[in-house]
Chains A and B, each alone.
Chain A
Amino acid sequence: MKDFWTRFRFNRGAVIGLVILAVVIATAIAAPFIFPTSPWKMVQRPFLPPLTQNGLPLGTDALGRDVLAGLAHGAYVSLLVGLVSTVVALAIGVPVGALAGYFVGRVDDALMRFTEFFQTIPSFALAIVLLAIFQPSLTFVIIAIAIVSWPPVARLVRGEVLSLRTREFVEAATLQGLGNAQIILRHILPNALPPIIVLASLMVAQAILLESSLSFLGLGDPNIMSWGYMIGAARTVIRTAWWLSFLPGMAILLTVLALNLIGEGLNDALNPRLTRKSE
């Protein structure tokens, strides 16, 4: 663990990412306290440019709502969607991959064909359809994102398991009389963890992007102030109030960037073999 940290810290980008993310998380948590009134409250004249009014550093949007408040509350949503959907995706992908990889042959075939469908269908289009079917509430946004993002997990896990299951310590475990469940859970998955963690961190980023794209197209939960929504809403006024699209965009960019940086850091730290700066 200690050398994990030393290796992680060795990657400057990762540290920067960690700092940014920390800030975002802090904002997300603090939002309800800093901006107790709902971000939907119309507090001032519409289209107030940033830095023109005390108390409204980032100005107001088309309905005179506080942009800063929106961003703060949006941070919460983005992170929530990112994390939860990733967890759900893992919950689908890891078992599928593990089973496919461990019980090779028919099971593997069946599961992998199944995965292939989901990979062949353009995932973004699928997400849209799913949201059109279940009407877009936060829950379904999350589910939809999870459904389109689990296949890579399954593939990764399968690959890892496939290579691990023939390792001698797994054979040993079998001879020691352990059951399949025990072997998968206690011997194989723990060793497949590092790449999964790395992938997960990147998936959170992708999920946030996906969420924003969806609410940008108006497929987000309309009762929730998210960054994607803010851009989508501001898009039509991009000419008169470009900052309304610009600011949330930057927010997304920074958050996703942070997550990617962290992902790379984790990669360097957890999979030294593939490390980028390996001398």
Chain B
Amino acid sequence: MLRELKFAIAATVASFVLVGPMAAQDGTPQQGGTLNVVIQPEPPGLMVGLIQNGPTQMVAGDIYESLLRYDANLQPTGQLAESWEISEDGKTYTFKLRKGVVFHDGKPFTSADVKFSMDKFLRESHSRMRTYMQHVESIETPDDHTVVFNLKQPFGPFIGIFEPGTAPMIPKHIYEGTDFANNPANNTPIGTGPFKFDEWVKGSYIHLVKNPDYYMEGKPHVDEVYYHVIPDAASRAVAYETGKVDVLPGGSIENFDVPRIRDMENTCITDKGWEYFGPLSWLWINLNNKPLDDVKVRQAMMHALDREFAKDALWNGLGKVATGPLSSSTRFYSDSTPDISYDPEKAKKLLSESSYNGETIRLLGLPYGETWQRWAEAVKQNLTEIGIKVEIVPSDVAGWNQKVSDRDFDLAFTYLYQYGDPALGVSRTYMSTNAKVGSPWNNVANYQNPEVDKMFDEAALMASPDDRAAAYKTIQDQIVSDVPNLWLLELGFPTIYRCNIKNPVNTAFGVNDGFRDVWIEKAK
């Protein structure tokens, strides 16, 4: 019977085509218009150098820029940098900056700002950047429009970090010598981006206006952008239907609502624009707890999970079933890892051979809304079917963080970004050096495998991409056979928008890269 229902869902999924960004490119841009976008939750602030959560990045993507952009295949293109080159030994990166770029307050943007941003500001207040910058020996600014990064040793992923969310360019003249965190300017962010900050009515909306002195001819096309704060998923759906908003970024409405919205008049949907983040969801397994330390139990659980069903019933068939620790859009992804597909029979068999006898497994759900709750319920049901006792442990965001940090769980939902490169987004969750209790984003499972540690270290510092590819292949095979986590899905977050809005998504960052190229086609 479950079969039959699969077909049913598969059918509904097949019935619509994903409209890729390419499709949206055609036609000549028209000027003007207002862009109404949903944002949620309300960002704590817009100064992306201090805060890097989703909503902040989304808005900041319009205000701030970095040196580069990345297309859907994570290939760098120019933004504030016209050109760049990497030395043979992979230790020197030289960027040539665009001329005539000014901040929103009219002050010119120069290499000094780059050095200040990377060396001072971000080192101090951007935790992810802090780790990246450890590889940087020194930053030189031979002239106003040249920046040279000298690395201690080759660091493959380095070229992948120059995006607004990671390396935003911050105005030196405003922040130098101030207390960054409490600088009043944080409330009126100043960047070089296509849009300027206008006003922010807390709990209601954020208003950006076109930056008239933007350095790219004729861009941006739209006059203003409203980010509407609507706390409740259902209301967000209503907002789109009643025409109050025109763009629903990934995850802003409940997945259950997607099909209905998707089928509306003049509505396009795409799951592109997440290639850089490559959000991968999985269940942490607390390897410190019996019987989870038994690989047979873990394998049994892995095969018990009907992830196809989850994808179809909960994610509208968007995204992919994960095959291992890397998401398929991440560099050096290998598609030939050992099989971990749904197979209840095999699961039962493995379980019977394993050391499991009737312990209750505590499953910690992710407090990010309906879909995740349902998912937890589904997983619980899956595991119950093969004879594992499961109890869902509820929690709010705070509780979840606490429990995961303290390793107070048996299984815990999570999903993390991979930032395009295993060295940036993957190794952190599998290296024993990173298994310290106290953070919910390191090697929470406490997976200990010296082999893997070693290979990760080496792979990160290899200069040649091919060598890295080979190294990561073995790593993936090894990890998958150890099953330290139960990998679920490469999440497909759909961006939904009115079809007369062109180019909402055209980089690996999707809407987070700002609406520089967006234009609205007036109804004829």
Chains A and B touch each other in the complex, with CB atoms below 8 Å apart: yes
Q: Which residues of A contact B (CB under 8 A)?
A: 38, 40-42, 44-46, 62-64, 132, 135-136, 218, 221-223, 233, 235-240
- The verdict on A40 contacting B373 (CB below 8 Å), with A239-B260, A240-B257 known, is no
Instruction: Kindly provide the distance from the CB of B316 to the nearest chain A CB, expressed in whole angstroms.
Output: 11
Cβ-defined contact, A233 with B257, below 8 A: no
B438: interface (CB < 8 Å): no
Q: Which of B1-34 contact A (CB under 8 A)?
A: 1, 4-5, 8-9
**Which one of B214-222, B375-383, B416-424, B445-453 is at the interface?**
B375-383
Bound-state CA distance A164–B297 (Å) is: 67
B199: interface (CB < 8 Å): no
Closest 8 CB pairs of A and B: A236-B254, A45-B5, A237-B256, A222-B392, A222-B394, A236-B370, A240-B260, A45-B8
- Partner of B378 from A42, A45, A221, A237 at Cβ < 8 Å: A42
B234: interface (CB < 8 Å): yes
Interface size grouping (class) on chain B? 20 to 34
* Residues on A with beta carbons closer than 8 Å to the beta carbon of B139: none
* Residues on A with beta carbons closer than 8 Å to the beta carbon of B309: 42
Cβ-defined contact, A40 with B377, below 8 A: yes
B133: interface (CB < 8 Å): no
Bound-state CA distance A237–B4 (Å) is: 23
Cβ-defined contact, A233 with B374, below 8 A: yes
Sampled A-B contacts (7; CB under 8 Å): A45-B8, A46-B5, A62-B370, A132-B396, A222-B393, A235-B234, A236-B257
Cβ-defined contact, B233 with A236, below 8 A: yes
Instruction: Kindly provide the distance from the CB of A121 to the nearest chain B CB, expressed in whole angstroms.
Output: 20
Interface of B is mostly: helix
Bound-state CA distance A167–B309 (Å) is: 70
Cβ-defined contact, A135 with B260, below 8 A: no
* Residues on A with beta carbons closer than 8 Å to the beta carbon of B391: 223
Most buried by A among B367, B377, B384: B377
Most buried by A among B256, B373, B380, B394: B256
- The verdict on A222 contacting B373 (CB below 8 Å), with A45-B8, A135-B394, A239-B260 known, is yes
Most buried by A among B8, B313, B399: B313
CB-CB nearest in chain B for A42 = B381
Instruction: Kindly provide the distance from the CB of A220 to the nearest chain B CB, expressed in whole angstroms.
Output: 8
Cβ-defined contact, B254 with A218, below 8 A: no
Bound-state CA distance A238–B254 (Å) is: 11
B365: interface (CB < 8 Å): yes
* Residues on B with beta carbons closer than 8 Å to the beta carbon of A45: 4-5, 8-9
Bound-state CA distance A132–B402 (Å) is: 13
Cβ-defined contact, B392 with A223, below 8 A: yes
Cβ-defined contact, A63 with B378, below 8 A: yes
Cβ-defined contact, A236 with B234, below 8 A: yes
CB-CB nearest in chain B for A133 = B399
Cβ-defined contact, A41 with B237, below 8 A: no
Q: Which of B370-420 contact A (CB under 8 A)?
A: 370, 373-374, 376-378, 380-381, 384, 391-396, 399
Instruction: Kindly provide the distance from the CB of A236 to the nearest chain B CB, expressed in whole angstroms.
Output: 4
CB-CB nearest in chain B for A219 = B394
Q: Which of B27-64 contact A (CB under 8 A)?
A: none
Instruction: Kindly provide the distance from the CB of B254 to the nearest chain A CB, expressed in whole angstroms.
Output: 4
Cβ-defined contact, B392 with A240, below 8 A: no
- Partner of A239 from B257, B370, B394 at Cβ < 8 Å: B257
B212: interface (CB < 8 Å): no
Cβ-defined contact, B234 with A135, below 8 A: no
- Partner of A62 from B234, B313, B384, B395 at Cβ < 8 Å: B313
* Residues on A with beta carbons closer than 8 Å to the beta carbon of B392: 222-223
Cβ-defined contact, A44 with B5, below 8 A: yes
* Residues on A with beta carbons closer than 8 Å to the beta carbon of B203: none
Bound-state CA distance A64–B392 (Å) is: 19
Bound-state CA distance A222–B5 (Å) is: 26
Instruction: Kindly provide the distance from the CB of A235 to the nearest chain B CB, expressed in whole angstroms.
Output: 6
* Residues on B with beta carbons closer than 8 Å to the beta carbon of A64: 5, 313
Cβ-defined contact, A40 with B381, below 8 A: yes
* Residues on A with beta carbons closer than 8 Å to the beta carbon of B108: none
- The verdict on A233 contacting B394 (CB below 8 Å), with A42-B381, A44-B1, A63-B313 known, is no
Q: Which of B171-217 contact A (CB under 8 A)?
A: none
Bound-state CA distance A42–B380 (Å) is: 11
* Residues on B with beta carbons closer than 8 Å to the beta carbon of A222: 365, 373, 376-377, 392-394
B259: interface (CB < 8 Å): yes
Q: Which of B214-268 contact A (CB under 8 A)?
A: 233-234, 237, 254, 256-257, 259-260
* Residues on B with beta carbons closer than 8 Å to the beta carbon of A240: 256-257, 259-260
Bound-state CA distance A218–B377 (Å) is: 14
Cβ-defined contact, B394 with A136, below 8 A: yes
Bound-state CA distance A239–B234 (Å) is: 9
Most buried by A among B1, B233, B394: B394
Instruction: Kindly provide the distance from the CB of A135 to the nearest chain B CB, expressed in whole angstroms.
Output: 6
With A63-B313, A222-B394 already in contact, 16 other A-B pairs whose C-beta atoms are closer than 8 Å: A40-B381, A42-B378, A44-B5, A45-B4, A45-B5, A45-B9, A132-B396, A136-B394, A221-B394, A222-B373, A222-B393, A236-B257, A236-B370, A238-B234, A239-B257, A239-B260
* Residues on A with beta carbons closer than 8 Å to the beta carbon of B233: 236
Cβ-defined contact, A218 with B374, below 8 A: no
Task: Render B349-379 as a binary contact track against A, CB cut-off 8 A, 1 for contact.
Answer: 0000000000000000101001001101110
Instruction: Kindly provide the distance from the CB of B45 to the nearest chain A CB, expressed in whole angstroms.
Output: 24
Cβ-defined contact, B313 with A40, below 8 A: no
Cβ-defined contact, A135 with B374, below 8 A: no
Bound-state CA distance A135–B9 (Å) is: 36
